[in-house]
């Protein structure tokens, strides 16, 4: 029966990821809760059939039903990754609902970072509050091993952020992951993210001078670590 939960969670995840894209698209511009989605090119209001995560993209072959403009495949990819991000969440448990909020906040940050190479701190504020609350409740459980695993990477990111070699966003996400999960989990997530970035970097013609959005890679690393847990 476990696979039925897996599939329903995957579907919930694709819907959440689809809505995350809408939130980032409309942030500061229009209401993203009650108003219906529109095509950003022809402004035509989308019908329910155009908004089914993954399926609509496949049926419409990645184009708007009305003006036929090409819809970036990143939308499809985000929904697909979202499905896996929430795959193991038990929506009947308070702890897992908190995990889902952390994952959703980080997904918003990843999408924003991908689009504009930065994210508003308010997007990760729920994750930050939940992770701080979590570390305070479990402060007595922090071991020397945890500190040994945490401090070098934390100081490295702090140093690189001060030198402006990497954005403060990476440091914030590292703190959220360390506080909410643990330092080992955060380190493995960042290691997986770095490997994914390296693979993409070697496989594409990305320029060394181009700023790279690292949060989407952290998100991929996070999904892999969550699935391996
Ligand atoms: Zn259109």
pLDDT value at residue 212: 83
The pLDDT > 90 percentage for the chain reads 75
- Asked if 74 and 161 sit in the same domain, the reply is no
Distance 192 CA to ligand 1 centre (A): 37
Distance 32 CA to ligand 1 centre (A): 19
- Asked if 71 and 138 sit in the same domain, the reply is no
CA–CA distance, 125 with 119 (Å, rounded to integer):
11
Q: Domain containing 52: what range?
A: 1-87
- Asked if 29 and 101 sit in the same domain, the reply is no
What is the token pair recorded at 165? 């070699």
Closest Cα to residue 107, out of 87, 85, 125? Answer: 85
Domain count of the fold of the chain: 2
- In this predicted structure, which of 56-70, 153-167, 184-198, 202-216 has the lowest mean pLDDT? 202-216
Distance 198 CA to ligand 1 centre (A): 35
- Asked if 132 and 149 sit in the same domain, the reply is yes
What is the distance of C-alpha 63 from the center of its chain? 24
- Quickly state the pLDDT bin for 214 (edges 50, 70, 90): very high
Answer with the one of 87, 122, 145 that is the final residue of a domain.
87
- Asked if 53 and 128 sit in the same domain, the reply is no
- Asked if 99 and 151 sit in the same domain, the reply is yes
CA–CA distance, 229 with 225 (Å, rounded to integer):
6
- The answer to whether residues 215 and 123 touch, using CB atoms and an 8 Å cutoff, is no
Answer with the one of 87, 122, 144 that is the final residue of a domain.
87
Distance 31 CA to ligand 1 centre (A): 20
CA–CA distance, 26 with 10 (Å, rounded to integer):
25
Q: pLDDT higher for 140 or 205?
A: 140
- The answer to whether residues 44 and 64 touch, using CB atoms and an 8 Å cutoff, is yes
Distance 14 CA to ligand 1 centre (A): 22
What is the token pair recorded at 157? 């990111």
């Amino acid at each position: 029966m476990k696979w039925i939960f897996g599939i329903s969670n995957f579907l919930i995840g694709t819907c959440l990821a689809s809505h995350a894209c809408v939130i980032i698209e409309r942030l500061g511009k229009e209401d993203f809760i009650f108003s219906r989605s529109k095509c950003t090119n022809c402004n035509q209001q989308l019908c329910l059939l155009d908004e089914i995560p993954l399926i609509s993209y496949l049926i419409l072959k990645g184009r708007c039903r009305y003006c036929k403009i090409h819809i970036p495949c990143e939308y499809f990819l985000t929904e697909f990754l979202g499905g896996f991000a929430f795959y193991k969440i038990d929506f009947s448990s308070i702890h897992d609902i908190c995990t889902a909020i952390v994952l959703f906040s980080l997904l918003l940050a990843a999408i924003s970072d991908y689009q504009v190479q930065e994210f508003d701190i308010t997007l990760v504020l729920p994750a930050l509050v939940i992770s701080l609350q979590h570390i305070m409740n479990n402060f007595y459980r922090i071991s020397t091993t945890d500190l040994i695993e945490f401090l070098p990477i934390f100081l490295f990111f702090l140093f690189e952020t001060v030198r402006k070699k990497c954005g403060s966003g990476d440091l914030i996400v590292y703190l959220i992951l360390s506080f909410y999960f643990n330092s080992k989990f955060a380190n493995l997530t960042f290691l997986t993210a770095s490997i994914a970035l390296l693979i993409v970097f070697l496989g594409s013609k990305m320029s060394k001078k181009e700023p790279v959005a690292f949060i989407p890679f952290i998100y991929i690393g996070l999904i892999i670590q969550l699935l391996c847990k």
